[in-house]
Amino acid sequence: MNLSVVGAGHVGLVTGACFAQMGHRVICVDNDAKRIARLKRNVMPYYEPGLEALVRKHAKSGRLRFSARLVDGVRFGEVIFIAVGTPPKANGEADLTYVEGVCRDIARAMTSYRIIVEKSTVPVETGKWLRRTIAMNLKTKVPFDVASNPEFLREGTGVHDFLNPDRIVIGVESDAARKKLLQVYQPLKAPTVVTDIASAELIKHASNSFLAAKISFINAVAQVCDRVGADVEKVAEGMGLDRRIGKFFLDAGIGFGGFCLPKDIEAFIHIADKLGVDFRLLKEVARINEEQRAILVKKIEERLWNLKQKTIAVWGLSFKPHTDDMRLAPSIDVIGRLSAAGAKVRAYDPEAMGEARRCLNGTVFCSDPYRAAKGSDCLVLLTEWPQFQKVDWKKVHRMMEHPIVVDGRNFLDAAVVRRHGFEYVGMGQGRP
Ligand code: UDX
């Protein structure tokens, strides 16, 4: 099929490349002409494992093209996926001006039947607005359908997630749209939920909010564990074996970050409020998440007393491993708190240092984990990059002023670290 994807960001670009891999012909459109020019030279706008290889492969196969002109996308694809950003406004509400703008411009350029699909995460009832905006802006009477097809890929494993989804969700209001979208995803052979548009929109916000709730739940349990000498990892293991609970998203630590979970729960709280539902549970999920960062800093203070003039080494800055994404990364909050208390921060991240330089002032960026550890009073792990498990602990010990490790992700092997003479502190491992 001929498909168009509007927006070459974290969702749009992976979607475009994966559609090409599934055998479709795709055009990816973005109004950032520089980004498009770079993509035409196979230069990726962000780090995502496997993405560059796919883009190169299908630039060659001719199945993936790029354009900075929306009209090219409107002409080419029988189905047009909107994957532009829906950033949060100051009050947490999703800002849908990009979605509206794209949808208006699509309508103005449309000359024959098209299906316009929301791929970005949007609040319930956006489909209704899409339909209205398109109808208001058509130049001539052209038939069209709108649909919702939320994307569940995770950053860092986006390509794999897209091609191996747990489920595909399709929200439609016509038989023609249903048939076409089923045809688009037919190569993936994944369980598919076909529903109305509002339900599809809700599946996305409800899923991300539920995942966030799972994380905050285990983090609250971790707080209890710290007070009674219990081990949250064992508690999570014991809980997770119950198939009704499941073992995923029960990793306690400094909480969730990134541009999806934090912003989606805020947007869901906001839309629920607007509809007259006070989603207090989600407000608490967000509060517990914030609390985790304060708890981590408190753990450091418990070991170092005053933080003024102390040197803290930070390993890992991105909001999770295998991405360079710093958006709403817990590290920003944690480093902000450490700096406010007068500590000097020396940081290292395998991929996110470029992005981090833009949002972390006063931090010393180091070229490897050992240099970050040099002269530090405490080492804090904030992102679970696999290479941190393989460091030479003897060397780290030599570099540090005081051998204290605070593991914000319960990621390091505590026994190994302790064996090398460190004081090791995790989250919810029975030590405040
Ligand atoms: C999330 C959803 O998982 C995905 O389905 C949706 O499409 C986009 O939002 P993403 O933000 O890429 O994906 O990352 P995810 O793997 O969900 O992690 C989110 C945050 O939660 C990270 O900061 C991670 O470190 C944290 N997390 C995750 C925990 O603290 N504990 C866990 O058990 C799992």
- Any domain includes 222: yes
Instruction: Tell me: do 34 and 183 sit in the same domain.
Output: yes
Nearest CA to ligand 1 atom 1: 154
β partners of residue 4: 27, 80
* Mean pLDDT, rounded, for 306-332: 96
Cα–Cα distance for residue pair 178/167, rounded to 1 Å? 16
**Residue 299: inside a domain:** yes
Structural domain includes residue 306: yes
Report pLDDT for 297.
98
The domain in which residue 188 lies consists of: 2-195
Kind plus residue range of the DSSP H or E element containing 177 = helix 175-185
Q: Which of 140, 160, 195 is the last residue of a domain?
A: 195
Q: Using CB atoms within 10 Å of the CB of residue 278, give its burial: 0 to 12 exposed, 13 to 18 middle, 19+ buried.
A: exposed
Q: How far is CA 102 from the centre of its chain?
A: 23
Nearest CA to ligand 1 atom 34: 249
**Residues 390 and 284 reside in one and the same domain:** yes
At 43, list the tokens: 């230069």
Residues 86 and 224 in one domain: no
Whether the Cβ atoms of residue 420 and residue 393 lie closer than 8 Å to each other: yes
Selection from 303, 345, 330 nearest residue 384 by Cα: 330
**Last residue of a domain, which of 170, 195, 220?**
195
Distance 208 CA to ligand 1 centre (A): 9
Residue located nearest, by CA, to atom 27 of ligand 1: 256
- Alpha carbon of 320 to ligand 1 centroid (Å): 8
Q: Is 316 in the pocket of ligand 1 (CB under 6 A)?
A: no
Please give the number of the atom of ligand 1 that sits closest to the Cα of 251: 33
Q: Which of 121, 174, 102 is nearest to 144 (CA)?
A: 174
Which residue puts its alpha carbon closest to atom 24 of ligand 1? 256
The per-residue pLDDT for 211 is 98
The model's pLDDT over 59-87, given as tens digits with 9 standing for 90+, comes to 999 999 999 999 999 999 999 999 999 99
Q: How many CB atoms lie within 10 A of CB 182?
A: 14
Establish if 395 belongs to a structural domain: yes
Catalytic residue ranges:
260
381 within ligand 1 shell (Cβ under 6 A): no
User: How far apart, in whole angstroms, are the C-alpha atoms of residue 214 and residue 79?
Assistant: 35
**Residue to probe by mutation, ligand 1, list 47, 154, 166, most atoms within 8 Å of CB:** 154
Name the residue with the closest Cα to ligand 1, atom 5.
152
Do residues 190 and 160 lie in contact, with contact meaning Cβ atoms separated by under 8 Å? no
Band (pLDDT 50/70/90 cuts) for residue 431 is: confident
Q: How far apart, in Å, are the Cα atoms of 233 and each of 218, 239, 240, 315?
A: 9, 10, 10, 21
Each residue of 402-429: pLDDT tens digit? Answer: 999 999 999 999 999 999 999 999 999 9
Q: Edge to edge, what strands does the sheet with 423-425 contain?
A: 364-365, 344-348, 311-315, 378-381, 404-407, 423-425
Q: Are 311 and 363 members of one domain? A: yes
Q: What is residue 79's DSSP assignment?
A: E
Write down the pLDDT at residue 379.
98
Give the CATH number, domain containing residue 133: 3.40.50.720
What's the CA gap between 191 and 194, in Å, rounded? 10
With b for 16 or more beta-carbon neighbours within 10 A and e for fewer, the 156-165 pattern comes to bbbbebbbeb
Contacts of 371 (CB under 8 A, 6+ apart): 346, 348, 399
Closest by CA to 314, choosing from 343, 290, 289, 349, is: 349
Mutate which of 120, 157, 218, 261 to test ligand 1's pocket (most atoms within 8 Å of Cβ)?
261
Residue 309 shares a structural domain with residue 352: yes
Domain count, the chain: 2
What is the residue whose two structure tokens read 């302790």?
418
In a domain, 142, yes or no: yes
Q: What is the rounded distance in angstroms from the CA atom of residue 207 to the CA atom of residue 246?
A: 14
One domain for residues 78 and 187: yes
Ligand 1, residue 158: give the atom nearest the CA.
12
Does 365 lie in the same domain as 250?
yes
Total-model pTM: 0.95
What does the alpha-carbon distance between residue 235 and residue 90 come to, in Å, rounded to a whole number? 37
Beta bridge partners of 423: 404
Whether 255 lines ligand 1, by a CB cut-off of 6 Å, is yes
| C-alpha 261 to ligand 1 mean position (Å) | 7
> Domain check: are 190 and 226 in the same one?
no
Where a domain ends, among 161, 195, 229? 195
Q: Give, using CA atoms, the residue closest to atom 3 of ligand 1.
A: 154
Q: What pLDDT band is residue 432 in, cutting at 50, 70 and 90?
A: confident
Q: What is the pLDDT of residue 389?
A: 97
- Report the alpha-carbon distance of residue 121 to residue 261 in Å, rounded: 11
- 208 close to ligand 1 (CB < 6 Angstrom): yes
Average pLDDT along the chain: 97
* pLDDT bracket for residue 121 (50, 70, 90): very high
Residue 256 Cβ inside 6 Å of ligand 1? The answer reads: yes
Q: Do 141 and 190 have their domain in common?
A: yes
Confirm or reject: Cβ of 75 under 6 Å from ligand 1: no
Tens digits of per-residue pLDDT, 207-260? 999 999 999 999 999 999 999 999 999 999 999 999 999 999 999 999 999 999
Which atom of ligand 1 is nearest the CA belonging to 319? 23
For atom 13 of ligand 1, the residue with the nearest CA is 154
Residue 203 falls within a domain, yes or no?
no
Give yes or no: residues 147 and 224 share one domain.
no
Query: Looking at ligand 1, which residue's alpha carbon is closest to its atom 17?
Result: 154
Nearest-angstrom CA–CA distance, 328 and 262? 8
Tokens of 263: 């912003």
Whether 187 and 215 share a structural domain: no
- Ligand 1 centre to CA of 328 (Å) is 12
258 lines ligand 1 (CB under 6 A): yes
pLDDT reported for residue 48: 94
CB-ligand 1 contact for 319 (6 Å cutoff): yes
Asked whether residue 202 is assigned to any structural domain, the reply reads: no
163 lines ligand 1 (CB under 6 A): no
Judgement on whether residues 185 and 234 belong to the same structural domain of the protein: no
The pLDDT tens digits for 330-380 are 999 999 999 999 999 999 999 999 999 999 989 999 999 999 999 999 999
In tens, the pLDDT along 266-305 reads: 999 999 999 999 999 999 999 999 999 999 999 999 999 9
Contacts of 83 (CB under 8 A, 6+ apart): 5, 6, 7, 9, 11, 12, 15, 119, 120, 151
> Is any ligand 1 atom within 6 A of the Cβ of residue 320?
yes
Residue 40 maps to a domain = yes
